[in-house]
Amino acid sequence: MPRKPLIAANWKMYKTPVQAQEFFKLFLPLVANHDRDEIVVCPSFTSISVVIAAATGSGVAIGAQNMHFADEGAYTGETSPLMLKAIGATHVILGHSERRQYFAETDELINKKLKTALHHQFIPIVCVGEVLAEREAGKTEEVLLRQTRGCLAGLTAGISAAEASPIVIAYEPVWAIGTGKTATPQMACEAHALIRAEVARLLGNEVADNLRILYGGSVKPDNATTLMNEPDIDGALVGGASLDPQSFAKIVNY
């Protein structure tokens, strides 16, 4: 079965609930009846409920940008999977490079969150990607393999294709995030092929063949088509260009 592309908006720490509602008023008519791609918007926690209400009946899914691995507990400032489930979030971004960089998230922590996400039937979008110094030192492959293995650790033992099918990986070269620099399609395809081959080794060919691997890093309306036309790029994780309804709609309608 062909993989349905997924285009996800990561709003980071932008937009109040009112601004999020305003976005949806303008965005939804621009993507009405769009069925070719799965569309997901991940606002900040405070806007998730209002955005879910605004998106009702539209086919646009709503996700979170992060999640704790525990169902509940003494974790001040954190948000649990049960809380997100209760309000209707369906997707969750895990291990974004900004979480790794500013909040010290490790592959081990992301792995715990991934297991929780699967347990609670979220669609997890697990982010991997090298920083500029790693690319320049020729370490891209090593970093992507380490992150892929670390994030998927422990899933090797007997996970079925059905259990693994929600997993989405986003390849986001860190040097391309928010910088206006984009990986060339060739760079992205090499990274995607490497990740897919590693997932095949870890979880089997069926899981790897069904795995959606997104590209993220300065995706804009003017480069979306080139990137999305690559057979091994199964969608995009979009930051800056997803904040504006017209711009995000143009990317979705690549």
The catalytic residues are: 96, 172
Please give the residues from 88 up to 147 whose contact with ligand PEP meets the rule CB under 6 A: none
In sequence order, which residues have a C-beta less than 8 Å from that of residue 201 and are 6 or more positions away?
none
Part in contact with ligand PEP (CB under 6 A); list of ranges 29-37, 52-60, 130-138, 235-243: 235-243
- At residue 83, φ and ψ (nearest 5 deg) are -65, -45
Q: Look at strands 235-238 and 123-128 and give their pairing.
A: unpaired
In sequence order, which residues have a C-beta less than 8 Å from that of residue 119 and are 6 or more positions away?
81
- The minimum distance between CB 91 and ligand PEP, in angstroms, equals 13
Q: Is 47 in the site for ligand PEP (CB under 6 A)?
A: no
Mark residues 173-212: x for contact with ligand PEP by CB under 6 A, - for none.
----xx----------------------------------
List, in sequence order, the alpha helices (H) in the chain: 17-30, 45-55, 81-87, 97-102, 107-119, 132-136, 140-152, 161-164, 185-203, 205-210, 221-228, 245-252
Q: Is 227 in the site for ligand PEP (CB under 6 A)?
A: no
C-alpha to C-alpha distance for 151 and 195, rounded to whole angstroms: 12
- The minimum distance between CB 184 and ligand PEP, in angstroms, equals 15
User: In the complex with ligand PEP, which residue's Cβ is closer, 80 or 247?
Assistant: 247
Which residues lie near ligand PEP (CB under 6 A)?
Answer: 10, 12, 172, 177-178, 216-219, 237-241
